[in-house]
């Protein structure tokens, strides 16, 4: 996996009024690699300016969509207190296309206008789409560390120690470690993936980790971490102190509810009253998705309450419970497929 990190320093607190900032040219000399890439941007907005930033983000999204090689963009607004940053994901067909957009005059000019709304520093990384990145788990921490000169050997030895320690932390799901890119990024990057905010924060604040960070002080100039949340968290509200479910479990439950809703709406409403009445399929499908999302907002939390024994097992036999729960959900998939398949066969007669 390839990362590109660019850190732009801004005031630690928001300015009282707009001021002018300068933006240095960002030069990228990487050779394009085959396959798509995603630009992951984490940025923090001054209090009270989220609506203004959102409007600006829509404008820059339009400009980005016209850049050669652009595929799509996803904007994740803050979700305090766990995630206080805006996270923007921009997919491009290649590293060359992504870096061309990052260096473009259009983007740099628009960022000039946005700087008075922002505080702290941006983190911008480029990830290969076929690699494990920051977003497969419910929560991730992206950590950047800048080293003092000529201490790489000591740092790599220390990194091995903390990697072993964090792999034993409760809820740990994965770790990625990337060295600097000469001439582009001078920070070492680490991505920690955990199954819940609770478990991530327990590790981040643990005496063991704090002691290891103390050991690294002689060879590090600075470090900072930012949190990213993803998934269907809003539909899986767990009891206080209960870890957030694993992403694969949430995905399975969402699919279990989504498939019957889409099928039933399609049979009872979309086909007879929309497409058969002359409405274009693409529009009827869009209406179907709106209905599905509204219904899932009730159905998924309802199903999550009934599967809480599986989503967050309290028994020591976690592996056994995981297997039983996955089997039950898979069995319900099979029931839906058989029932809807039989109905479709009967309807076709």
Q: Helix, strand, coil % (nearest 5) of the chain?
A: 50, 20, 30
What's the pLDDT tens digit per position in 111-122? 888 888 988 767
Q: Name, of 93-97, 136-140, 232-236, 257-261, the range with top average pLDDT.
A: 257-261
> What pLDDT digit, counting tens, does each position of 130-149 carry?
544 434 456 788 888 889 99
Instruction: Kindly list the distances between the CA atom of residue 330 and the CA atoms of 88, 303, 306, 325, 343, in Å, as whole numbers in the listed order.
Output: 34, 14, 16, 8, 20
Task: Judge contact between 117 and 103, C-beta under 8 A.
Answer: no
Q: Give pLDDT, residue 266.
A: 92
Q: How confident is the model at residue 20 (pLDDT cuts 50, 70, 90)?
A: very low
Name the token pair of 56. Answer: 């600006």
Domains of the chain in start order, with CATH, are: 1-19+26-131 (3.30.70.100), 133-230 (3.30.70.100), 247-348 (no CATH)
CA dihedral of 102, 107, 109, 112, whole degrees rounded to 10:
-80
Q: Which helix (H) or strand (E) holds 139?
A: strand 139-147
Rounded to whole angstroms, how far apart are CA atoms 93 and 91?
A: 7
Cα(253)–Cα(231) distance, rounded to whole angstroms?
12
Cβ atoms of residues 202 and 16 within 8 Å: no
Q: Is the pLDDT of residue 207 over 70?
A: yes
Q: What is the mean pLDDT of the chain?
A: 79
| Confidence band for 18, pLDDT divided at 50, 70 and 90 | very low
What digits encode the pLDDT tens for the residues 287-343?
999 999 899 988 988 998 899 889 878 777 878 898 999 999 999 999 999 999 999
50-65 vs 105-114: helix crossing angle, rounded to 10: 180
| 72 vs 183, higher pLDDT | 72
What tens digit of pLDDT does each residue of 31-63 get?
A: 334 467 878 788 889 888 888 998 998 899 899
- How much is the pTM? 0.49
The answer to whether 2 touches 64, Cβ cutoff 8 Å, is no
Report in angstroms the alpha-carbon separations of 219 from 143, 153, 154.
16, 10, 8
């Amino acid at each position: 996996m390839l990362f590109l990190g660019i850190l732009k320093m801004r005031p630690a607190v928001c300015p009282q009024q707009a001021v002018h900032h300068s933006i240095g040219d960002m030069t990228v000399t990487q050779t394009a690699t085959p396959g798509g890439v995603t630009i992951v941007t984490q940025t923090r907005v001054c209090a009270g300016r989220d609506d203004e930033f959102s409007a600006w983000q829509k404008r820059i999204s339009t400009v980005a969509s016209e850049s050669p090689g652009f595929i799509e963009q996803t904007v994740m607004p803050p979700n305090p207190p766990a995630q206080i940053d805006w996270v923007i994901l921009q997919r491009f067909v290649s590293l060359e296309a992504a870096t061309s957009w990052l260096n473009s005059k259009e983007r740099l000019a628009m960022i000039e206008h946005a700087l008075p709304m922002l505080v702290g520093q941006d983190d911008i990384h480029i990830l290969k789409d076929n690699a494990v990145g920051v977003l497969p788990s419910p929560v991730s921490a992206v950590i950047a560390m800048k080293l003092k000169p000529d201490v790489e050997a000591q740092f790599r030895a220390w990194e091995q120690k903390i990697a072993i320690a964090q792999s034993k932390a409760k809820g740990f799901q994965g770790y990625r470690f990337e060295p600097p890119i000469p001439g582009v990024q001078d920070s070492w990057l680490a991505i920690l993936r955990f199954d819940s905010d609770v478990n991530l924060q327990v590790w981040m604040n643990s005496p063991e980790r704090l002691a290891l960070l103390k050991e690294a002080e002689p060879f590090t100039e600075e470090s900072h971490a930012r949190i990213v949340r993803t998934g269907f968290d809003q539909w899986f509200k767990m009891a206080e102190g209960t870890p957030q479910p694993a992403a694969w479990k949430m995905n399975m439950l969402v699919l279990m509810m989504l498939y019957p809703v889409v099928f039933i709406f399609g049979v009872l409403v979309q086909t007879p009253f929309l497409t058969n009445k002359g409405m274009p399929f693409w529009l009827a499908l869009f209406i179907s998705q709106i209905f599905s999302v509204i219904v899932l907002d009730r159905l998924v939390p309802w199903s999550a309450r009934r599967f809480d024994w599986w989503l967050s097992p309290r028994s020591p036999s976690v592996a056994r419970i995981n297997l039983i729960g996955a089997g039950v959900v898979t069995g319900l998939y099979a029931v839906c497929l058989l029932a809807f398949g039989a109905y479709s066969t009967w309807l076709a007669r």
